[in-house]
Structure 1
């Protein structure tokens, strides 16, 4: 824009600043914050309309003049005024970097700087250090005119004492603005010299920006040897902060390379400090620069294989599963198995984490989960680990289907081979009783006492099973029979006295082991059934009585108490048949799972029991009359 247009824009800014005078009154503690906030918004709005330093300096001169006049009633120690003055001073200095010493003596820059000095004299009461240093820079002839600074930029001889004295004379933010200007102008060598000098200063060198600027300049000049040397001396926490600060200033490729170098350094050192943050940042930067998923998996493989600490693979597994889903599971499993096989001095906690991670990645593979649970138990030898093994081995066996598995057969075979190498015994051909015996032998003394107490409690499970499980299933079965077969009848005069014997299986083994008394009782029952005029259908759950053609008496329902006795024994012998008793903790888990089902059938079961009780009373009454 022309100078006339800039002057017109300056006049508009003066009018807008006059509208803010309403905040200039005696109540300074309330109005100072509002005035400074509106002032900064207004100055920023007018400055953004220009893209050249000189028109922007004119805007700042007008803003500084209005601010000086408006804040005359504010106290000297007002913090909002101090912050605003610092922002104006730094803005002046940043724009002054574009001008040399000769231009400082020519209009209109000469007039702008004279106005700044006049305002500075009126603002001395606030004792703003940034404003004072800008005034000193103007007095020296510009931000580049100090002899020591010229020697540093040119790389000529300068003593350490002179350099430290000069760097201590200004705030670090002024050197930061100089380095940013040199980087923007592609004066990389001068930026490297100034950043390196600042890093050597004991106070200025503590600011991470100078380290960040030095690393980025080394990368741009392809000085990779010096770059790696500097990265090796940087803390991981500072590395994360440097990457985050550089993200909005440099290209993605440069930031990704720096992040990868920091990550490789941590992996080679085996340090887990801030490794999760570095992996997360690296993955985000990689997908932003390279959208290829296969390339991401390849990079992850190389990085994980270079780690000397097995725990370093866990953040990679987290990132891979989050970004790739099921596609990244095979690589995660392969790396876990490799870490288990190549670790010469395995850490017990890390091994447990690796086994649990493998089981987490393959939850549908029962064989892999069983082996992982056994390995964890052999290492921890705790009751909780034993319960996990017991639950997995009581689960029905499943044949793995190659088309439904997340990993290929060769990877699965490799994982199984690595897992079996860590076992003390091979459980492949063992039954549950043998496996249980060997597991109990490995439990430590304290845990062994707990396990033995639990085993003793198993002796009391017979009463619990007879009281809870048969009664529950009896109610469900009785409801189903009475609802599904409402025409179930039995002659009152032919009701058997030993109805509970029907469907009961021998408990003593073969027929030769059955007691003589029970065999005689069974024969009497068979003769009575032959003589009776009732015939039973061939049903494995309940024997439905069918009325004989020769019978002429009115039928009656089966007594409810006899049904319960029969179903109780039927459930005990048929449904609950197993090789061994379940432990109490497993039974309690079954109880919790079936409580919801039992509550649903409560109303129906109560009605059926009441109706069965009525039938039983009627049966007793008929016997009494007889």
Structure 2
């Protein structure tokens, strides 16, 4: 029944093609019109044949169509581009059919008859200067598309010279090789597809098409990988813009999962090896791919960020990661960002963990500024960051920022409620670890004096005005004259102690310490300032000179207005 159907289809097709050829000889039918009519006949004939059920009938169609077109080829103009296009399309369709049609599935004698027909047609085409059918001839002579020497060498490791394998692949060309890959992937033979793609990738004579096979191989490897650890070997050979292009092309080709895994493996390698070339771009691309993988689960994205943050060895990579978190999940990523900052502070506390090109000072300053921006309402953390910034970069600018934050009456010691107490405590301890002293229980006056001692003398002179200038400024303020009168009156009542004038440019506490009236007076280090000499050392030296062979006076209190902090002070005199 099947043979009769094949013969009937063969006869119908042969009649239509012969009729079309007769019209070409009898009328002014040009080559382009003939090629269009020839293709329409083949399409109509192929629609009536179910490929899955009657593949031998479809093979018979090409057995009749190719000789018919070859026979009429001398009558067609060589200048018509449609002629070469139709011939190439016939060969390609026949080759694709042979990929799906093993010789063992055909009736007895059909394959041999088809082989003989192809050999005769190839001889005729070679005389006409066409060599397109040579690939099909090699396939039919080998007994099938997967029985050629090149395929046996690739899939079954049979001993075939590499030159012969390369020549066979080059003769098929990129289009036919892609057809082979598509079929292998469709039937689930991923390992064989990877081998074939690798051979095509290493074939430099394919030119730009070798990049296509490389992308295909990476897509197959990534799709079969279970985690990014399986792709570390592939990521080791990728670098720069080439790696970014491959990941983007994988994603565009529909391998989103594989692209994300490959990007993760690539990013881990860059973080572990402290590579800065294109690392920022890879971080951004990884964030986009990972966020797209779990659009409704930001916790998984943040967890993945923490995992990669634990691999990072430089602060700049952590800061870039924080920027991407703020861009992707700004409302849920505060705790994760703080944990990454803590990781950065730990890196700064260890020697040799940073790269040689990274400046530790700038890295610490960047961490402090980042923390201050992440938690603007946390006054304690903000002041700790400003103080750390000052210690790392001692300058007038950092001092002014610290002074403004410490003297701001509206800044209350609030805490960030989104952080756990343990995390917040660890953050503050890491910040304090790099301080030269711990001013936890100090007021601003004491802290101010220590900070001024750290500044260069020329900058300190700009920040700390002379006492005479302070007095002049105070006179211009309302209510100062009445306060000074009350101050002088109290001092006269207590012994008529004479305070040097403002032109002497010494403070009232310096004058009091220099007199023999109260030699036991202890100067508070919070208000110490003595003619350019500041700090506790100056006060000790001065007091040692005044305490030699002097009696002690107890329980004397003096009320005075400090010219430095401009507030009324009632110190104890012992």
User: Which TM bucket (shorter chain)?
Assistant: 0.5 to 0.7
Deviations for 1:183-237, whole angstroms, at most 9, x for unmatched residues?
Answer: 2232222212212323444555984443443344345556988743233222254
| Structure 1 equivalent of residue 494 of structure 2 | none
Alignment CA distance shift 1:141-1:352 (3 Å)? same
| Structure 2 equivalent of residue 414 of structure 1 | 426
Deviations for 1:518-558, whole angstroms, at most 9, x for unmatched residues?
Answer: xxxxxxxxxxxxxxxxxxxxxxxxxxxxxxxxxxxxxxxxx
For the residues of structure 1 that align with 2:458 and 2:244, how far apart are their CA atoms? 50
For the residues of structure 1 that align with 2:435 and 2:254, how far apart are their CA atoms? 52
Deviates more, 1:356-365 or 1:158-167: 158-167
Which of 307, 312, 322 is the matching residue for 1:302?
307
Unaligned runs of 5+ in 2: 1-5, 7-11, 17-45, 355-359, 491-562, 568-574
**Deviation, structure 1 residue 362:** 0.7
Deviates more, 1:228-237 or 1:196-205: 196-205
**Deviation, structure 1 residue 359:** 1.1
| Structure 2 equivalent of residue 485 of structure 1 | none
**Deviation, structure 1 residue 332:** 1.3
Task: Give the 3-state SS of the residue equivalent to 1:326 in structure 2.
Answer: coil
**Deviation, structure 1 residue 329:** 0.4
Alignment CA distance shift 1:191-1:437 (3 Å)? same
Which of 285, 289, 292 is the matching residue for 1:285?
289
Q: Does 1:273 align with 2:273?
A: no
2:96/2:179 contact within 8 Å kept: no
- Equivalent residues in 2 for 1:8-157 (5 A)? 95=96, 98-100=99-101, 136-138=134-136, 140-141=138-139, 146-157=148-159
For the residues of structure 2 that align with 1:350 and 1:51, how far apart are their CA atoms? 70
**Deviation, structure 1 residue 407:** 2.0
Q: Does 1:217 align with 2:220?
A: yes
| Structure 1 equivalent of residue 397 of structure 2 | 384
Alignment CA distance shift 1:465-1:73 (3 Å)? farther
Deviations for 1:421-465, whole angstroms, at most 9, x for unmatched residues?
Answer: 111222334444544443344446xxx756655767999999999
Which of 473, 484, 492 is the matching residue for 1:509?
484
Deviations for 1:230-254, whole angstroms, at most 9, x for unmatched residues?
Answer: 3322225433323322224456544
Alignment CA distance shift 1:211-1:73 (3 Å)? closer
| Structure 2 equivalent of residue 399 of structure 1 | 412
CA RMSD of superposed structures (Å)? 5.8
**Deviation, structure 1 residue 301:** 1.9
Q: Greater helix percent: which structure?
A: 1
> TM-score, with normalisation over the residues of structure 2?
0.56
For the residues of structure 2 that align with 1:450 and 1:182, how far apart are their CA atoms? 76
Which of 327, 330, 334 is the matching residue for 2:335?
330
| Structure 2 equivalent of residue 427 of structure 1 | 439
**Deviation, structure 1 residue 331:** 1.9
Task: Give the 3-state SS of the residue equivalent to 2:484 in structure 1.
Answer: coil
Alignment CA distance shift 1:466-1:191 (3 Å)? farther
2:384/2:431 contact within 8 Å kept: yes
Comparing both chains, which one has the higher relative contact order based on Cα–Cα distances under 8 Å and sequence gaps of 6 or more? 1
**Deviation, structure 1 residue 361:** 0.6
Alignment CA distance shift 1:396-1:173 (3 Å)? farther
| Structure 2 equivalent of residue 184 of structure 1 | 186
**Deviation, structure 1 residue 261:** 2.6
**Deviation, structure 1 residue 156:** 1.9
2:386/2:402 contact within 8 Å kept: yes
Deviations for 1:601-621, whole angstroms, at most 9, x for unmatched residues?
Answer: xxxxxxxxxxxxxxxxxxxxx
2:222/2:259 contact within 8 Å kept: no
1:247/1:255 contact within 8 Å kept: yes
For the residues of structure 2 that align with 1:451 and 1:75, how far apart are their CA atoms? 90
For the residues of structure 1 that align with 2:448 and 2:79, how far apart are their CA atoms? 84
1:101/1:145 contact within 8 Å kept: no
Task: Give the 3-state SS of the residue equivalent to 2:160 in structure 1.
Answer: coil
Deviations for 1:560-614, whole angstroms, at most 9, x for unmatched residues?
Answer: xxxxxxxxxxxxxxxxx99479xxxxxxxxxxxxxxxxxxxxxxxxxxxxxxxxx
Q: Does 1:375 align with 2:388?
A: yes
Q: Does 1:361 align with 2:336?
A: no
> TM-score, with normalisation over the residues of structure 1?
0.52
User: What is the aligned length?
Assistant: 422
For the residues of structure 2 that align with 1:579 and 1:185, how far apart are their CA atoms? 85
1:93/1:134 contact within 8 Å kept: no
Task: Give the 3-state SS of the residue equivalent to 2:275 in structure 1.
Answer: coil
Which of 215, 229, 234 is the matching residue for 2:238?
234
Unaligned runs of 5+ in 1: 12-46, 125-131, 471-502, 516-576, 582-626
For the residues of structure 2 that align with 1:377 and 1:222, how far apart are their CA atoms? 49
1:259/1:282 contact within 8 Å kept: yes
1:208/1:242 contact within 8 Å kept: no
For the residues of structure 1 that align with 2:374 and 2:248, how far apart are their CA atoms? 32
Alignment CA distance shift 1:304-1:222 (3 Å)? closer
Deviations for 1:53-78, whole angstroms, at most 9, x for unmatched residues?
Answer: 999999xx9xxx9xx9xxx99999xx
For the residues of structure 2 that align with 1:389 and 1:212, how far apart are their CA atoms? 55
| Structure 2 equivalent of residue 613 of structure 1 | none
Task: Give the 3-state SS of the residue equivalent to 1:406 in structure 2.
Answer: coil
For the residues of structure 1 that align with 2:78 and 2:461, how far apart are their CA atoms? 86
